[in-house]
Amino acid sequence: MLARLDRRDARSSILRRRVLRLIHSGARRSYDGISMDGPETARNTGMKIPLFQVDAFTEKIFSGNQAAVCPLTHWLEDKQMLAIAAENNVSETAFFVPENGAYCLRWFSPKSEVQLCGHATLATAFVIFNFLRPGTTSVRFHTCSGPLDVKKEGDFLAMDFPSLPARPCESVPKALLDGLNPSPRVVLESGATAAERNYFVVYDNEKDVRDAIPDLPILETLHPAGVCITAPGERVDFVSRYFAPSYGIPEDPVTGSTHCSLGPYWSDVLKKSVLRAQQLSSRGGELLVEPRGSRITLKGKATLYLVAEISI
C-alpha cells in the first residue's frame, strides 16, 4: 500500500485521517491511544510497520535530505532494523518507540547504526506533529547522544542538540590529504573518541566547496570518521558538504549533526549568533544555526514524500 503525497496534502485533515488508518491497519496495535509505559522487544514475525519518507531541511519535495521514519510499538532486533535501513537505502532510517510520555529514538544508515542524526530527528518530529500526535508542539527523544528536544516555531522545527566544537587537527591523516581536491587549507576534528570523529576542512570560498571532487574510496579508509568541507557562503553565512562513504553515504544531502560543529566555528569566525547555512549537495538544503554554549539550536523545515507499509 503506497500513498504518494505532496506538501499541501500533508497539511490537510483528510490526509491525516488516511495516514492514521494506514497505521491502524498496518501496525500490530494502534498508535492512537498507545500505552506510553515503555518499549518492549518484538516477539514474533509477520509484522507490518508504517513507513514515512520525509524530505528534511527543505520545504520543497525532491530536495533536502531524505529520511525514512518507522514508528514502532516494540523494538525490533538490531539486525532487522539494519536490514530495513539497507532496503530503504536513504542516508538514515529512524526507528522510535514511546517511553514515559516521550520517545526512544535510534538511527540507522544503510550500513550501521549512527550516534547522532539531525535530519532524521527533524523528520521524526515532523511525523509526530503532523500525523501521530496532531496539535503537539514539542517532543523529547531519548537517544544515545542524550535527550533531544524538538519544538514547533512557526513554519520551522527547532531542535535542541549538543554543541560539538571542532578543534585543530594535530595529526592530519594522509588519506584525508590524498582524498580531497583541492587540498585542505585548515583541518579541524571533532569527537571525544575515534568512533565519534569527524574531520572538517575549511576552504577559502564557496566555489572550492562546490567544485571539490573527493576520492571516495580513499576517504572510506578514514572510517569511522566522516569528512565535512566548508567555506564562507556567497548568499548565506557558510556552506558545506559532507562525505561518509564507509556508512553507505557517498555524499549526504543535508547533515544536521555536522552543524553542531560548524555552528560554533563559523559563529566565532563571523562574530554572529544566528547563522544561515546551506549544504551544497545535488539535492541541497538550508537551515538556521544558533550556538548557545554547550547546546545548539538547529532550525529547518520538512515536507512529506510518501507513506507506505513494510511487511516483515
274: helix, strand or coil: coil
Q: How far apart are CA 49 and CA 309, in angstroms?
A: 6
Asked if residue 147 and residue 214 are part of one domain, the reply reads no
Give me the domain span that covers residue 255: 167-293
Asked if residue 153 and residue 9 are part of one domain, the reply reads yes
Question: pLDDT tens, 7-26?
Answer: 444 455 666 666 666 665 55
Asked if residue 227 and residue 96 are part of one domain, the reply reads no
**Residue 248: HSE in the Cβ half-sphere, 13 Å Cα cutoff:** 18
Asked if residue 200 and residue 122 are part of one domain, the reply reads no
Overall domain count for the chain: 2
Instruction: Specify the higher pLDDT residue, 219 or 182.
Output: 219
Question: What pLDDT was estimated at residue 13?
Answer: 67
User: What's the CATH number where 14 sits?
Assistant: 3.10.310.10
pLDDT at 42 over 60: no
Asked if residue 279 and residue 205 are part of one domain, the reply reads yes
Asked if residue 118 and residue 13 are part of one domain, the reply reads yes
Q: How far apart are CA 136 and CA 165, in angstroms?
A: 32
- Average pLDDT in the 250-261 region? 97
pLDDT at 68 over 60: yes
Sign of CA dihedral 302, 254, 246, 226: negative
Asked if residue 150 and residue 75 are part of one domain, the reply reads yes
Instruction: Specify the higher pLDDT residue, 312 or 219.
Output: 219
Asked if residue 157 and residue 36 are part of one domain, the reply reads yes
> At 36, is the pLDDT very low, low, confident or very high (cuts 50, 70, 90)?
very low
Question: pLDDT tens, 115-147?
Answer: 999 999 999 999 999 999 999 999 999 999 999
Confidence (pTM): 0.87
- Average pLDDT in the 248-256 region? 96
pLDDT at 37 over 80: no
Share of the chain above pLDDT 90, in %: 81
Instruction: Specify the higher pLDDT residue, 194 or 14.
Output: 194
Asked if residue 271 and residue 194 are part of one domain, the reply reads yes
Sign of CA dihedral 302, 305, 311, 312: negative
Instruction: Specify the higher pLDDT residue, 37 or 276.
Output: 276
The residues assigned a catalytic role are 92
